[in-house]
Amino acid sequence: MSIPLSILDLSPISEGSSAAQALRNTVDLARHAEQWGYRRYWLAEHHFVSVASSSSLTLLGVVAAATSRIRVGTGAVQVGHHTSASIVEAFGTVDALHPGRLDLGLGRSGHRVSQFGAAAATTRGGHPVLDTVTGRTEVRDGVVVPPPFDPRRVTDRSKFLASAEALQQPGAESLDFAEQLAEIQALLDGRYFTANGVALHAVPGEGIDAELWLFGSSAGESAELAGTLGLPFAAAYHVAPGTALDAVAAYRAAFQPSELLAEPHVIVSADVVVAPDDDTARHRASTYGHWVHSIRSGGAAEYLDPATASPLTADQLRLVDDRLASQIVGSPSTAVGRLDALQKVTGADELLITTITHDHADRLESHRLLADAWGQRAARAA
């Protein structure tokens, strides 16, 4: 089965570059993605790390203005860091100028601060001790499924907790995810009332023609909510390869038909680096582990140059082995083979590709080569 490819962009900042250049690179890649036939161009939301997509709601309008046909969206708005009204009004503003092309992707990352902070690491002598990874990496019909990553293995939570505090007003508490989702839907549909019965209307925002998506990485609340509400679901295999397949299964099990969807609709993400041959691709992807390690260890390193970076140590590799094992790296035929396996195992209706390399030209080439190879695959299947 031939399915569409889309792009998830984090606007990565490369070693020696800047946030301004990363944003220019995002606009450039979006324009090329439209030419190469990608269906959607989604923008991630990350804070206080070396990516320039922290304000995805702002960047949404920039990318929409730079393109004309491709669907543009968020992957995903961390709703715990925003009010429902600010999300709907931001999308309404962009939709007013670029109608009918927006995907409103929502995730509950901002709601998990207490869970993350409470999961205190085992300590020895005042220093964190990494938990032993339990289980073995499986390969299910060509799809790598490592053991689920345990957040207690993160060696320093201080920056994460400080970041979460900085993203909210003092004393503010996030709404329950389901409650905030209901608020957003009510604002979009024109049926929002305050607790004391006052009707409020989002201007702009109410009545916009945007697709509403929920993002999830495990068989938890997001997957179940998307299913019971009959919404499309995005499974984050690129973030949580150990649990994303479970998320897809939970979504399908919970799915109930709605006015939007008669049957489940799933997009599955994957980290991909494509080059003309396997060796070149492996070289270009060789500092991906450094970048993941910098985040999981409480840092915020820029994406390192493979030509000058030192190899990770054995201890560092153990903290990122799940992400390295599940990253899809190789020639066009290698990448297509592994993506084809991911689609078959998950039953994905679309695949969402995220690619990070030090050189922007290499990232462009990766997406172009993949689009060409995927299109040739589709032509052969027709």
Yes or no: say if 229 and 258 are a contact pair by the CB < 8 Å rule. yes
* pLDDT mean across residues, the chain: 91
CA–CA dist 325, 328 (Å, integer): 8
User: Residue 225 has what pLDDT?
Assistant: 98
Tell me the C-alpha distance between 49 and 72, whole Å.
Answer: 23
Global pTM?
Answer: 0.93
Q: How many domains does the chain have?
A: 1
Q: How do residues 351-372 score in pLDDT, each as one tens digit?
A: 999 999 999 999 999 999 999 9
Q: Which two tokens stand for residue 77?
A: 């708005």
Peptide bond into 241 cis (omega under 30): no
Which residues 6+ apart lie within 8 Å of 177 measured at CB? 79, 80, 108, 111, 221, 222, 225
Q: Is the pLDDT of residue 129 over 60?
A: no
116 pLDDT more than 60: no
Phi/psi of residue 134, nearest 5 degrees: -100, 150
Q: In terms of C-beta density within 10 A (0-12 exposed, 13-18 middle, 19 or more buried), how is residue 63 classed? A: buried
Strands, E, within 80-225: which ranges? 102-107, 123-124, 127-128, 138-140, 143-145, 192-193, 199-200, 210-216
Q: Using omega within 30 degrees of 0 as the cis cutoff, is the peptide bond preceding 236 cis?
A: no
Q: Give dist(CA 247, CA 216) in Å, integer.
A: 7
Q: Lowest mean pLDDT: which of 20-34, 286-300, 364-378?
A: 286-300
* pLDDT-above-70 percentage for the chain: 92
- pLDDT value at residue 155: 63
Residue 140 tokens, joined: 């299910």
Q: Residue 382: its pLDDT value, please?
A: 65
CB–CB of 212/236 below 8 Å?
A: no
pLDDT higher than 90, residue 201 = yes
Residue 267 CA, distance from chain mean position: 11
Residue 312 · residue 173 · CB < 8 Å: no
Question: What is the CATH number for 277?
Answer: 3.20.20.30
User: Residue type at 95?
Assistant: D
**How many angstroms separate the CA atoms of 229 and 171, rounded?**
31
Contact 71, 100 (CB under 8 A): no
Q: Among residues 220, 247, 236, 222, which one has the least CA distance to residue 322?
A: 236
Residue 66 region by backbone torsions, left for phi larger than 0, else alpha for psi between -120 and 50, else beta = alpha
Q: What is the pLDDT of residues 270-289, one digit of tens each?
A: 999 999 999 999 999 999 99
Domain span including residue 360: 5-381
